[in-house]
Amino acid sequence: MSNAEVIRILNDLVGNLDLSFKQREALSWAIAKLTK
């Protein structure tokens, strides 16, 4: 599985979760850090 695939899957997951804006932001930030 490529990094791009993982990012896409995680972003889909985040989008499907009922998260607050802050939680979404934190997750996106964590995903970006992990995939650098």
Q: So what's the pLDDT on residue 7?
A: 83
Q: Say if pTM beats, i.e. exceeds, 0.75.
A: no
Binned at pLDDT 50, 70 and 90, residue 21 comes out as confident
The single-letter DSSP state of residue 35 is T
- Domains of the chain, by residue range, sit at 3-34
Q: So what's the pLDDT on residue 20?
A: 87
Q: How far apart are CA 23 and CA 29, in angstroms?
A: 10
Extended beta strands in the chain, E state: none
Q: What percent of the chain has pLDDT over 90?
A: 3
Contact 7, 36 (CB under 8 A): no
| Residue 29 scores a pLDDT above 80 | yes
Binned at pLDDT 50, 70 and 90, residue 6 comes out as confident
